Structure 1
Amino acid sequence: MITYVGLMSFTDKGLQTLKDTTKRAAAAKEAAKKTGVNIRELLWTMGECDLVCVLEAEDEQALAAFSLATAMQGNVRSHSLRAYSAKEMDKILAKIP
């Protein structure tokens, strides 16, 4: 599984129905499973981003499909960041000459 960090901000549409955000999050977790993505953690935040999540995907195409499906809902704008565990980072560092 590939790990990603998602940074999200509410759109105007998302803010208009803000009281449904936890219900939408539960629905998103179910939808994610259908595309081969697992939402490990979803947190509402204060500051530049409104939500931060940690996702695991089978492959890049799975994350892309889930991201596009989420974007079509129109409630959030997102940015995905590839994340590495310490073990993965050690393998990367071992390849540096």
Structure 2
Amino acid sequence: MTTYIMLLNWTDAGVKTLRDSPARLDKVRTQLVEMGGEMKAFYLTMGEYDMVAVCEAPDDAVAARFAMQLGMGGNVRTRTLKAFPEGAYREIVATLA
């Protein structure tokens, strides 16, 4: 599985219904599992982003579909980063000329 870091911000609609946010988180965790992935970690953050999620998905298409579904809900905007684990990083660097 591939790891993705999702940076999330609440929209105005998401802030207005903030008390419902934990239930929405539970729902999207289940949706990702149904898509063949898993949310490995979730953090409320301070700074430029309101939340960070570490997710795994079988491929980029599933990760993209998951991010789009989140956006369609209207409560968050996402930025998704494909993450390479340390072993892959070392392999990539080792191939540099």
TM, length-normalised to structure 2: 0.95
Q: Offset of 1:36 from its aligned partner? A: 2.1
Q: Offset of 1:43 from its aligned partner? A: 0.7
Q: Give yes or no for the alignment of 1:47 onto 2:55.
A: no
Q: Offset of 1:91 from its aligned partner? A: 1.0
Deviation sequence 1:46-82 (CA, Å, 0-9, x none): 1110000101110001101111111110000000011
Give 4+ residue runs of structure 1 displaced > 4 Å after superposition: none
Count of matched residue positions in the alignment of Structure 1 and Structure 2: 97
Q: Give the residue type in structure 2 aligned to 1:68.
A: M
TM, length-normalised to structure 1: 0.95
- List runs of 5+ in structure 1 lacking aligned partners: none
Q: Offset of 1:37 from its aligned partner? A: 2.1
Partner of 1:12: 12
CA distance in 1, matches of 2:41, 2:22: 13
Q: Is the 8 A contact 1:42 1:54 kept in 2?
A: yes
Q: Is the 8 A contact 1:35 1:65 kept in 2?
A: no
- List runs of 5+ in structure 2 lacking aligned partners: none
